[in-house]
A and B are shown apart, each in its own frame.
Chain A
Amino acid sequence: MAHQAHSYHMVDPSPWPIFGAAAALLTTSGLIMWFHYSSTTLLTMGLLSMLLVMLQWWRDVIRESTFQGHHTPTVQKGLRYGMILFITSEAFFFLGFFWAFFHSSLAPTPELGGQWPPTGVKPLNPLEVPLLNTAILLASGVTVTWAHHSITEGNRKQAIHALTLTILLGFYFTALQAMEYHEASFSIADSVYGSTFFVATGFHGLHVIIGSSFLTVCLLRLIKFHFTPNHHFGFEAAAWYWHFVDIIWLFLYMSMYWWGS
């Protein structure tokens, strides 16, 4: 049997990349069919296939790493680069929405009443629920770091407790934010204020949900003994992502909630 003379992982042929591309096609064209022809069939198929592809692709990565041992230090280094680059690209994604916000709010047009917040818009009080949300996310940053230290020290019980607490804080944030959305006196249709506010905080909320899901998967893996004190990159990637989500919120809070009120 031939053995490789390098420390990289030559993966088995896999259908998930092309199925993932097809899922993206179905989702985007599904949005068109929903917006213009009021049909949700294609969108449902797209979201469902996207979910199936993600589940199976990442299940395979877990099989290749935890169960087949293919993730050498070299492979892990590549994964670290990959996650850093992905998070950087997400930072640029949010940068665009911050640009839009500052473009409209630094020089408010006459149509808005020449002021920011625009005339007639009653912004949310930054010292009420938004401040609580800030505290929640900062606390969750502490608990996820606690979980990481527990993993490296081999303390299983504390790691499970800390990670569970992190996830619960994430759910609490999402619930409070959903309530805020419901109670706000303005909507996404209320001038460029509503657009910038709800698009930026909305995408942030989506990232909180994604981060919470990632952390939940890590909790399940932690309980099933997948992680070792020296090798737990899946958890580290989730923790990086979670810190990123926290930092984006801090910028959102300072600019849109506080300065913009």
Chain B
Amino acid sequence: MYYKFNGFTQRLVGAAASTAYNPQKADGLPVHLKRGVPDKLLYRTTMALTIGGTIYCLVALYMASQPRSQK
């Protein structure tokens, strides 16, 4: 957001919500990443949690299936 002074009246540029995010813009982004950075962060967090968790789960289940190494 900034002020444009080279006009007859001063105007505030980039303050309207529509300049920040337009859900219908044809930018090729899928809907789950449409807002840019916050979407990407959430997506990567979810992916890290699920994929990391799945690997941890498989390791835990493998260990649980061993007959003698139970605690």
Contact = CB atoms under 8 A, between A and B. Distances in A.
Per DSSP, chain B at the interface is: helix
Contacts of A68: 23-24, 31
Interface of A: 1, 11-16, 19, 22-23, 25-26, 29-30, 32-33, 36-37, 41-42, 45-46, 48-49, 52-53, 56, 60, 63-64, 67-69
A221 to B, nearest CB: 15
Contact of A52 (B46, B61, B71): B46
Contacts of A19: 46-47, 50
B50 A49 contact: yes
Interface of B: 23-24, 26, 30-32, 34, 42-43, 45-47, 49-54, 56-57, 60-61, 64, 71
7 closest cross-chain pairs (CB), A and B: A67-B23, A12-B30, A22-B50, A45-B53, A52-B46, A26-B53, A49-B49
A42 B30 contact: no
Given A52-B46, A63-B23, A22 B31 contact: no
B54 to A, nearest CB: 5
Nearest to A18: B50
B53 A14 contact: no
A37 B42 CA distance: 31
B56 A42 contact: yes
A39 to B, nearest CB: 8
